[in-house]
Chain A
Amino acid sequence: MDPIDLFSLRERFNQTRIMLCFNGPMSRSLIEEIGNALKNYLTADQAHPSAAMDVFGVYIELTQNIRHYTHARAWSEQDAGATVVISREADGRYVICAGNLIEPQDGAAVCTLVDQLAGLDKAALKALYKEQLRKPRPDSSSGAGLGLIHVARTASAPLQASLHTLPDGRAFFSLRAVI
């Protein structure tokens, strides 16, 4: 395996305008601390308060979704990790990407949901969101639905999801939201 070339990694970050990235086990306090750093970056970046709240909100929903999912499966700390990248497009829009290990059937289900959400306009997303809000709390874990609909409502373009199957039978799910 090649040694890590920090310089080229840095170049890559700069070229792709990555403001913040994280890969590894993600605790509750780490979500808060990175969230805090994100808020500071956005302030320094002179993001409009509404845009800053949108980016922060999407980051929180996606990372907490990952925590709920992996916690419910009682996976090891290493398997329960998250990969999060927050960057800026050339046109100034913010992009939040978040990914995690997932059971293939759960991954397929969430991809289907993302596709369904992509076909809905803002009014339909709002109606679905309000409907989901009124549903009883899911007993375990997932909670998913509501958070994902919120992210879809916040995003300025349809969410993009992808699923990579891994040799051990599990999969890596990733989601991309443009604000």
Chain B
Amino acid sequence: MQSFETPGSQSTPTIRANWEEGTLFMEGDSYPENSYEQFRPVFDWIEAFLSTTGRPLTLDLHLLYLNTSSIKAMMDIFDRLETAHANGQQVAVRWCYDRRNERVGELAEEFREDCTFPFRIEPSA
């Protein structure tokens, strides 16, 4: 597995997965009709990283609007991180958002409710 980068579009986020650093960056809106297709490579990359490297993984999120099928896909990702955490692997999420848009903060908070690994929600000034 390697690093990969997917440029964002109006309805899909920019994605940068860095294998060396163990970081996954996602930024922008996500509302494709088929989120499953969109998130499949991300999920596969995370799965490969967690099951082969044993190194810490950090998600750096700057996501804004997510449609419900993207929310479902993100939940699958966080569930996978939760499993890794339960097995003693180091995983963390940082979700940054513009504090003027509290909906994004609320969205991140609802995900965090179901996670026990370090999950920081950072409103920008």
A residues touching B (Cβ–Cβ < 8 Å)?
28, 32, 36, 48-50, 53-54, 56-57, 60-61, 64, 67-68, 126, 130, 133-134, 137, 143, 146-147, 150
Contact of B25 with A by CB under 8 A: no
Q: Quick one: which of A36, A48, A133 contacts B75, CB cutoff 8 A?
A: A133
Which single residue of chain A is at the shortest CB-CB distance from B69?
Answer: A143
The answer to the question of B2 belonging to the interface, with a C-beta cut-off of 8 Å to chain A, is no
Residues of A within 8 A of B69 (CB): 64, 143, 146
Q: Is B120 an interface residue (CB 8 A)?
A: no
B contacts, CB < 8 Å to A: 10-11, 31, 33, 36, 64-65, 67-69, 71-72, 75, 98, 100-104, 110, 114
Query: Assuming A67-B33, A143-B69, what are 15 further A-B pairs, CB within 8 angstroms?
Result: A28-B33, A36-B10, A49-B101, A50-B102, A50-B103, A53-B64, A53-B101, A53-B103, A64-B33, A68-B33, A133-B75, A137-B36, A137-B72, A146-B68, A147-B68
> Once the chains are docked, how many angstroms separate the CA of A68 from the CA of B34?
10
Cβ contacts A to B, 17 pairs, < 8 Å: A28-B33, A32-B10, A50-B103, A53-B64, A53-B103, A54-B103, A56-B65, A57-B65, A61-B67, A61-B68, A67-B33, A130-B110, A130-B114, A133-B72, A137-B36, A146-B68, A150-B68
Let me know if B98 and A49 touch, CB within 8 A.
yes
CA gap between A49 and B77 in the complex, in Å: 27
Which of A60, A67, A147 has the most chain B CB within a 10 Å cutoff? Answer: A60
Contact status B67-A60, CB under 8 Å: yes
Tell me, in angstroms, the Cα distance from A57 to B101 when the chains sit together.
13
When the two chains form their complex, are residues A133 and B71 in contact, meaning their CB atoms are under 8 A apart? yes
Distance in angstroms between the alpha carbons of A134 and B78 in the assembled complex: 12
Residues in chain B near residue A50, CB distance under 8 A:
100-103
A109 to chain B, nearest CB (A): 19
Complex-state Cα separation, A134 to B103, whole angstroms: 21
A40 CB, nearest partner CB in chain B, Å: 12
Nearest chain B CB to A96 CB, angstrom units: 15
Nearest A residue to B29 via CB reads: A56
Q: Which residues of B contact A133 (CB under 8 A)?
A: 71-72, 75
Query: Which residue from A49, A57, A134 sits with its C-beta under 8 Å from B67?
Result: A57
**Chain A contacts for B65, CB-based, 8 A:** 53, 56-57, 60
Measured in the bound complex, the distance between the Cα atoms of B68 and A137 in whole Å is 12
Docked CA distance A126–B10 (Å):
28
**Residues of A contacting B68 in the complex (Cβ-Cβ under 8 angstroms):** 61, 143, 146-147, 150
